[in-house]
């Protein structure tokens, strides 16, 4: 891969671009020349010598002047553009324009325009933000733009992506914990534990015990046999399987199954483990935007909790 980032490739790209434009002008020059062919009787032949369908003859007329000059202007414009903007390998262009700087400028303008609004939001508590219709409208747009791709537009998630409306939190559901998750991201890891648990039968027994914690369908005898082995899992999930938000260890007693439900899914998790990553957004969102977004996500779970059963 080092060959593709050497200065030689920049020179190659720049030279190929310039030669391509010069070749366009050369093509125009040769195509515009009118070649007069003389017949055997000494009179000029005004055709190219090509005939189709018996009598359809192609004439040797010169290019229209407007077409020729439009072509020339297009090529000259290309030279000017490549001088002002990037396009010739690593040459940055006379104006020094970059898409990164333009994006940064646009973000700065947007931040400046919205600063008074976010200044008002910054003075509010999470409870006040959750009750503020304008703040929640902004929070909803932030959620759609930055979170919905994984958690869904309704925030109910899918397999492998947590539901944010059910008040079941891996890393804590307070506004402060949610804001920290958005800012810094999270990485949850369940290591493969089959070797520590024992043989395949022991793994199935533990899986059935895990299912029994939430009252899910399970083999009662296998669950009793797996109870003793669960002590290995209790280090993260707790003695009663109620989870640990400090570690991001899921609650195994609430019938919320992030990666699939049933004996086979639990066996696969114990055997293979799982790593889930929530990307950090501190560089994408301002502190004020994270505050509003955290309040929006927090109120989603509060609304679900208060909803009539």
Same domain, 73 and 218: no
Rounded alpha-carbon distances, angstroms, from residue 275 to 46, 187, 192, 237, 260:
76, 7, 10, 16, 14
Same domain, 12 and 124: no
Establish if 97 belongs to a structural domain. no
Establish if 91 belongs to a structural domain. no
| Strand intervals (E) in the chain | 37-38, 44-45, 47-52, 56-59, 186-190, 274-278
Same domain, 41 and 22: yes
Rounded alpha-carbon distances, angstroms, from residue 9 to 20, 89, 91, 205:
16, 7, 12, 60
Write out the DSSP string of 59-124.
E-PPPPHHHHHHHHHHHHHHHHHHHHSS-STT---TT---HHHHHHHHHHHHHHHHHHHHHHHHTS
Establish if 70 belongs to a structural domain. yes
Same domain, 155 and 295: yes
Question: Tell me, what CATH number does 245's domain have?
Answer: 1.10.760.10
> 71-118: per-residue pLDDT in tens?
999 999 999 999 999 988 888 899 989 999 998 899 889 889 989 999
Q: What is the mean pLDDT of residues 215-242?
A: 95
Q: What is the mean pLDDT of residues 124-150?
A: 96
Same domain, 173 and 195: no
The mean predicted confidence, pLDDT, of the chain is: 89
**CB within 8 A of 113, min separation 6: which ones?**
none
| pLDDT higher than threshold 50 for residue 44 | yes
* Nearest to 129, CA basis, from 118, 115, 141: 118
**CB within 8 A of 133, min separation 6: which ones?**
none
Rounded alpha-carbon distances, angstroms, from residue 133 to 179, 187, 195, 298, 303:
20, 33, 53, 14, 14
Same domain, 117 and 130: yes
Establish if 79 belongs to a structural domain. yes
| pLDDT higher than threshold 90 for residue 305 | no
Establish if 36 belongs to a structural domain. yes
3-state SS class at 227: coil
How many domains does one find in the chain? Answer: 3
Same domain, 204 and 268: yes
Classify residue 284 as left (phi > 0), alpha (psi -120 to 50) or beta: alpha
Q: Please answer whether residues 297 and 155 qualify as being in contact, where contact means their C-beta atoms are separated by less than 8 angstroms.
A: yes
Establish if 90 belongs to a structural domain. no
Establish if 94 belongs to a structural domain. no
Establish if 96 belongs to a structural domain. no
Same domain, 241 and 179: no
- pLDDT-derived band of residue 1, with 50, 70 and 90 as boundaries? very low
- Between 38 and 305, the more confident residue is 38
| pLDDT higher than threshold 90 for residue 302 | no
Residue that is last in its domain, among 84, 119, 142? 84
pLDDT at 74: 94
In angstroms, the CA 273 to CA 189 distance is 8
- Between 42 and 53, the more confident residue is 53
Q: Would you tell me the crossing angle of helices 263-272 and 200-213 to the nearest 10 degrees? A: 120
In angstroms, the CA 144 to CA 131 distance is 19
pLDDT at 48: 73
Same domain, 149 and 212: no
**CB within 8 A of 95, min separation 6: which ones?**
84, 85
Same domain, 294 and 284: yes
3-state SS class at 7: helix
In angstroms, the CA 23 to CA 26 distance is 5
Structural domain for 171, as ranges: 105-185+279-306
Residue that is last in its domain, among 84, 119, 151? 84
Residue that is last in its domain, among 52, 84, 116? 84
In angstroms, the CA 262 to CA 78 distance is 63
Q: What is the mean pLDDT of residues 255-270?
A: 93
Same domain, 179 and 288: yes
Same domain, 73 and 146: no
| pLDDT higher than threshold 70 for residue 38 | no
């Amino acid at each position: 891969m080092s060959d593709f980032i050497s200065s030689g490739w920049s020179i190659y790209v720049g030279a190929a671009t310039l030669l391509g434009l010069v070749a366009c002008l050369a093509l125009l020059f040769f195509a515009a020349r009118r070649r007069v062919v003389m017949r055997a009787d000494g009179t000029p032949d005004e055709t190219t010598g090509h005939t189709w369908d018996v009598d359809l003859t192609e004439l040797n007329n010169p290019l229209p002047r407007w077409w020729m000059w439009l072509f020339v202007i297009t090529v000259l414009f290309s030279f000017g553009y490549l001088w002002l903007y990037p396009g010739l390998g690593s040459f940055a262009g006379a104006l020094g324009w970059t898409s990164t700087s333009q994006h940064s400028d646009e973000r700065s303008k947007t931040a400046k325009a919205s600063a008074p609004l976010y200044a008002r939001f910054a003075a509010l508590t999470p409870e006040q933000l959750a009750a503020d219709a304008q703040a929640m409208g902004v929070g909803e747009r932030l959620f759609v733009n930055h979170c919905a791709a994984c958690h869904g537009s309704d925030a109910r998630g899918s397999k492998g992506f947590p539901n944010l409306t059910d008040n079941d939190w891996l890393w804590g559901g307070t506004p402060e914990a949610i804001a920290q998750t958005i800012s810094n991201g999270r990485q949850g890891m369940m290591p493969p534990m089959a070797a520590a648990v024992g043989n395949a039968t022991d793994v199935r027994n533990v899986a059935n015990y895990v299912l029994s914690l939430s009252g899910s369908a399970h083999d009662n005898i296998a669950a009793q046999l797996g109870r003793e082995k669960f002590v290995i899992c209790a280090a993260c999930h707790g003695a009663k399987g109620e989870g640990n938000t400090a570690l991001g260890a899921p609650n195994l007693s609430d019938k919320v199954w992030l990666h699939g439900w049933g004996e086979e899914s639990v066996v696969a998790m114990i055997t293979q483990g799982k790593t889930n990553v929530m990307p950090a957004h501190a560089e994408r969102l301002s502190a004020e935007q994270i505050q509003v977004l955290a309040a929006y996500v927090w109120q989603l779970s509060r609304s679900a909790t208060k909803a009539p059963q």
